[in-house]
Amino acid sequence: MMKTLLAAATLAAFSAPALAQTPTAPPATEKSMAEQAFAKHDADKSGALSLTEVQTIDAKITQTDFDAYDSDKNKSLTVAEFSKWVEAKTTPPASKPG
C-alpha cells in the first residue's frame, strides 16, 4: 500500500509541471495581427507594402531597416516579410544567461 501511495505521489509531482505549461502558439484567428495590419496599411492595395506604407506604422524605420526584411529585394514587403518584421519588433530580446 505504501509503495502504491509513494508511486502515485511521485507521478503527480513529476506531471504537475507539464500540466502547468501554457500553450506557445496563440489561438488561431481568422487573420493574424500582422496580416490585419498589413491589409490596413496597404494603401494602394498592391498586395505589398512600400517603405512609405511601413513608415505609417513605424516612422523611425529607415531604408536599411526595410531592406533587411525585403528578402527578395523588390523594394516592397510581402505579407511573409512584413510578418517577420512585426515579429522582430514585438518579440522581446532573449535574456542573457547567467
Residue 14 CA to residue 17 CA, distance in Å, equals: 7
CATH number for domain 33-90, candidates 1.10.150.20, 3.90.660.10, 1.10.238.10, 3.40.1410.10: 1.10.238.10
The residue ranges of the chain whose pLDDT is under 50 are none
Helix residue ranges, H only, 1-98:
2-20, 33-41, 51-55, 63-69, 79-90
What confidence score (pLDDT) does residue 95 get? 78
Give the dihedral of Cα atoms 52, 78, 67, 84; nearest 10 deg: 110
pTM (two decimals): 0.64
Classify residue 68 by its DSSP letter. Answer: H
What confidence score (pLDDT) does residue 29 get? 56
